[in-house]
Structure 1
Amino acid sequence: MIVLVFYCLLTYGEKISVVIHVDDNYKPYSYKLKQQAKGVYIEVLEAAFSNMEDFQVTMVPVAWQRGKQMMEKGQGFGLAPVFFHGHDWPYLYPYSIHFYEEKILVICQQKVLEKKRKFWPDDYTGLHINNVVGFDGWGGSRFREFIKQGKIKYGEVRGIENIILMTGLGRGDCFLAEESSFDVVYAKLIQSKQFYVGVRYVNLVKGAVVGLDPVYIGYSEVAIEQGKYPFYKKFMKSFDIELYKLKKTGVVKKIMQEALLKH
């Protein structure tokens, strides 16, 4: 899966101005359109931020890998959307409450799944499986071990659209994707006739579920320890409270349902 980085720029009255960088290439959740941040998660975050009386928040898209580097170097405050990485990204901690749970699947050429492949990743050995660049939390530790052992050939591709088109053309047997993201982008590619099953493209089919992961804002421990964001506790508490209210009243669910239809 998405990037969030906070800078304190200036103060409007009593409000602290904060710039948030979000993943620029994770349709339909977070992406760049005409230099603006768009997507399902953007709408959820905007709803929460708009209720935070002490903060003026603006979101700016950035490449995912760049966002991670900024967190690691303490050049920003937070990163989103992220899975929990306290165990393998030491620079990213703490985390907000989660605002969604993503279902990660393995998507394959139809012929690959003609053989029964129920268990992940054991039933997928011997295959070439691609993943979106930077989404190294997907697949699980056993999958990563199989890659090291050479039991699975692995590659990374920038963006869900590219990875769908590549696999449809036979450049790889399968790939990892978030289910709703795949559904939306695959349908749009077929509708626009960029992807068509026929002489060149093969049909793609959903395989095993490889993970169910909550999505958070993760904060740069490096930046916090350097004292760059003295307001960090106030911001984190305020965001969690406003997001919690939106979740409990059903607003987040409504936003998600409506936004998935338009992005």
Structure 2
Amino acid sequence: MPRLPFRRYFLAAACCLCAAAGPVAWAAAPQPVVLYGDDDYPPYSYVENGQLKGIYTDIVREAVQAMPQYRVQLRPVPWKRGVLMLQTGDAFGLYPPYSWRSERPYVRYSVPLLMEQLVVFCNQDVVAKRALRQWPADYAGLHIGVNAGFLLGDAGLTAALRSGQIVLDAAKGTRTNLLKLMRGRIDCYVSDRLSAQWELQRIRRAGQAGTPMQAIHETAQLAGQQGHLGFTQRQPGAYPYRDDFIDQFNAAIARMQDSGAIRRIVERALQP
């Protein structure tokens, strides 16, 4: 049998290997991406039994399933640390920040995921002692609880609160703040209404034997805020896929809104 010249033999063998491998050899592997979620903001994003759960978590998880070019892992993080990671560029994405562009110029925001209603809760002692009709004028001198890393508004509002001698008292998570409020360690607490109501039900079901608890009341309704998936603007070289990811994610969220998928996620989360 005549031998093929070496060059022709090498090319023929290479062609056979390529044909055998087929399209799999040339298919690009999905790009690994890590997104972080607040670990203590129920029912929106929280950890339970070691699992990251919540309304925002389910929205993000369903959206990225429609993005096969990316292999996305969701990880919990304390909120304040997550915001710092966005600021340094150590995190690609974090949910669910509100869109405070002047206070966080290092964040690029997705389309809105969900609307939250911010309200003020105060304990019975405070409600009995003063009329709380106007925010923030009627709250001068009070200790107001907020979640660590949470922004009440722009720099102007924060300055106005402090000039009105309102003391902002930050603590980690809704449950911690509600317990402080019910035990009289803070006077009022600013929170998303649904998050506070959800956590309050859990506190009451669990009971706190031997611990006196005050009733709390909603005293003011503030502006609604929309949660987003926030992306770092820092270290662009580390995330060359950022623009494409954001475009695809925004398109996926738009489809979920049109199909009613987001509404169904919220309804499932609120079922008793």
The TM-score normalised by the length of structure 2 is 0.84
Identity of aligned residues (%): 28
Tell me by how many angstroms 1:189 deviates: 0.6
Task: List, as ranges, runs of 4+ consecutive aligned residues in structure 1 with deviation greater than 3 Å.
Answer: 139-143
Tell me by how many angstroms 1:29 deviates: 0.9
The alignment status of 1:201 with 2:216, answered yes or no, reads: no
- Structure 1: where are the runs of 5+ without partners? 1-11
What secondary structure is seen at the aligned counterpart in 2 of 1:14? coil
- Aligned AA (1:185): E
Cross-structure match for 1:7: none
What secondary structure is seen at the aligned counterpart in 2 of 1:200? coil
Do 2:132 and 2:139's aligned partners in 1 also have CA atoms closer than 8 Å? yes
Which shifted more, 232-241 or 16-25? 16-25
Tell me by how many angstroms 1:126 deviates: 2.1
The alignment status of 1:222 with 2:248, answered yes or no, reads: no
CA distance in 2, matches of 1:151, 1:77: 37
Given candidates 145, 148, 164, the residue that maps to 2:178 is: 164
CA distance in 2, matches of 1:201, 1:142: 35
Tell me by how many angstroms 1:140 deviates: 5.3
CA offset digits 1:97-144 (Å, max 9, x no partner): 001011111100124234432221112112111111110x22555552
CA distance in 2, matches of 1:90, 1:211: 21
Do 1:140 and 1:210's aligned partners in 2 also have CA atoms closer than 8 Å? no
- Aligned AA (2:258): K
What secondary structure is seen at the aligned counterpart in 2 of 1:252? helix
Cross-structure match for 1:41: 56
- Aligned AA (1:236): I
Count matched residues.
Answer: 245
Given candidates 189, 200, 207, the residue that maps to 2:203 is: 189
- Decide which structure has greater strand share: 1
Cross-structure match for 1:212: 224
The alignment status of 1:245 with 2:255, answered yes or no, reads: yes
The TM-score normalised by the length of structure 1 is 0.87
CA distance in 2, matches of 1:141, 1:106: 19
Do 2:34 and 2:93's aligned partners in 1 also have CA atoms closer than 8 Å? no
CA offset digits 1:47-66 (Å, max 9, x no partner): 11111121111101011121
Do 2:56 and 2:95's aligned partners in 1 also have CA atoms closer than 8 Å? no
What secondary structure is seen at the aligned counterpart in 2 of 1:37? strand
CA distance in 1, matches of 2:159, 2:215: 29
> Which structure is larger by alpha-carbon Rg, 1 or 2?
2
CA offset digits 1:180-220 (Å, max 9, x no partner): 00010001111111389xx7211011111122111111111
The alignment status of 1:58 with 2:73, answered yes or no, reads: yes
- Decide which structure has greater helix share: 2
